[in-house]
Amino acid sequence: MWIHAASVGETLCALPLAEALLEARPEMRILFTTATVTGSEIVARHPLYGQRIIHRFIPHDVPRWLRRFLNLWQPEGAIFVESELWPGIIAACSRRDIPVMLVNGRLSDRSARLWTRLGDPARRMMKRLSWVAARGPEDAARFRALGALPVYEDGDLKQDAPPLAYDEAEYARLRGLIGDRPVFVAASTHPGEEELVLQAAERARSFQPDLLTIIVPRHPARGAELAARFDLPRRAAGQDPTPQTQIWLADTLGELGLFYRLADRCFLGNSLAGKGGGHNPFEPLRLGVPTATGPKMENWREAMATVSDTIHIVNDVECLTRWLESPLPPVRTTGLQRSVVSVLRDRILKTVER
């Protein structure tokens, strides 16, 4: 089975589905492709990597290269995640009668407009899909409007994911270093947001002088630049927080589960500056962490509706500061689990067995 996920978020979303398929079919092996190095690193950490899970980078959408790729791997089926729609790859699979399935289908307003402008080529591509499992009604309606059929509304795979993994020994070590200090985690921040977080944290320290702020940039490669610009100790350089540390830069990959468990509250990035779009709100909420985001959560509208009575929206530095100074709110963790994985697993297996 071939599964393709673009980067880190899509890979984390797809791995539980891969595990469910492998459990259901003991003879199955999975070719897992990504478009980024960070995505490949997540796959490489899986216990079955190198045994039943193989990683390669996705080939460019070039006919000659696609022929070589498909001749080599001969997948039984192809599963693309979220918005990974490659016309050449889908057409090449269709010519070989390889079913192509889109899971956790996501189509933003902007992407839908772009595909609509393409006209017939886009509709031909959509009709070649065996089926689409959309995240929710809005995405499903956009896929149907572009000609995809059938389109299912199974729910969001990210809502169905288990709590993020973490290293228990490292958690105990860091908890010992931090003690009972309040901890604020700014997770998956994008350019322009670190400055806003630092301003809010500085103001909040007048209310909580021992506040420790942990900044986790979405792309760890930005760590050296951020550390130099703001004079911050960084985890990737082996620098631990001390009792005097006010801001700690956690520029490592795949450790959000650790930092969320250390947090008293967190802010989700890609939501307050720049183009935005947001990140997965279920991950901190599933762990009971009081969570705030900016208003730019367009990619997570349906998820935000699900957690609207739990998550807090901050519009600027002033709002974020007031939230940091407010009493810790309770977090409702019920309703964050749905059996999306099992539904998709069964549908995939039925599709490839026809």
pLDDT digits (tens, 9 = 90+) for 213-247: 999 999 999 999 999 999 999 999 999 999 999 99
State the catalytic residue, choosing from 10, 82, 84, 283: 10
Q: pLDDT by residue (tens digit) across 167-186?
A: 999 999 999 999 999 999 99
Residue 177 pLDDT = 97
CA atoms within 13 A on the CB side of 72: 10
Does the active-site annotation cover 10?
Answer: yes
Summarize the confidence of residues 78-92 as an average pLDDT: 93
Summarize the confidence of residues 98-115 as an average pLDDT: 93
Residue 333 pLDDT = 61
Residue 154 pLDDT = 86
Distance of alpha carbon 319 from alpha carbon 292, whole angstroms: 10
Residue 332 pLDDT = 67
Distance of alpha carbon 36 from alpha carbon 12, whole angstroms: 13
Residue 337 pLDDT = 52
Q: What is the dihedral of CA 179, 332, 190, 248, to 10 degrees?
A: 0
Q: pLDDT by residue (tens digit) across 119-173?
A: 999 999 999 999 999 988 899 999 999 999 999 998 888 877 778 889 999 999 9
Per DSSP, the three-state class of 144 is helix
Which is higher by pLDDT, 309 or 97? Answer: 97
Q: Does 338 have pLDDT greater than 70?
A: no
Q: pLDDT by residue (tens digit) across 278-334?
A: 999 999 998 999 999 999 999 888 889 888 889 999 999 999 999 999 988 777 665
Residue 146 pLDDT = 95
Summarize the confidence of residues 239-261 as an average pLDDT: 96
E-only strand ranges, 70-138: 78-81, 100-105, 131-134
Residue 203 pLDDT = 97
Q: Does 335 have pLDDT greater than 80?
A: no
> Considering only CA atoms, which of 71, 93, 70 is closest in space to residue 80?
93
Residue 161 pLDDT = 75
Whether this prediction's pTM lies above 0.75 is answered by: no
Percent of the chain residues topping a pLDDT of 90: 81
Mean pLDDT of the chain: 93
Summarize the confidence of residues 26-35 as an average pLDDT: 96
- Which residues are within 8 A (CB) of 59 and not within 5 positions of it... i.e. 6 or more apart? 65, 66, 68, 69, 89
Percent of the chain residues topping a pLDDT of 70: 98
Number of continuous H segments (helices) and E segments (strands) in the chain: 16, 13
Distance of alpha carbon 11 from alpha carbon 280, whole angstroms: 13
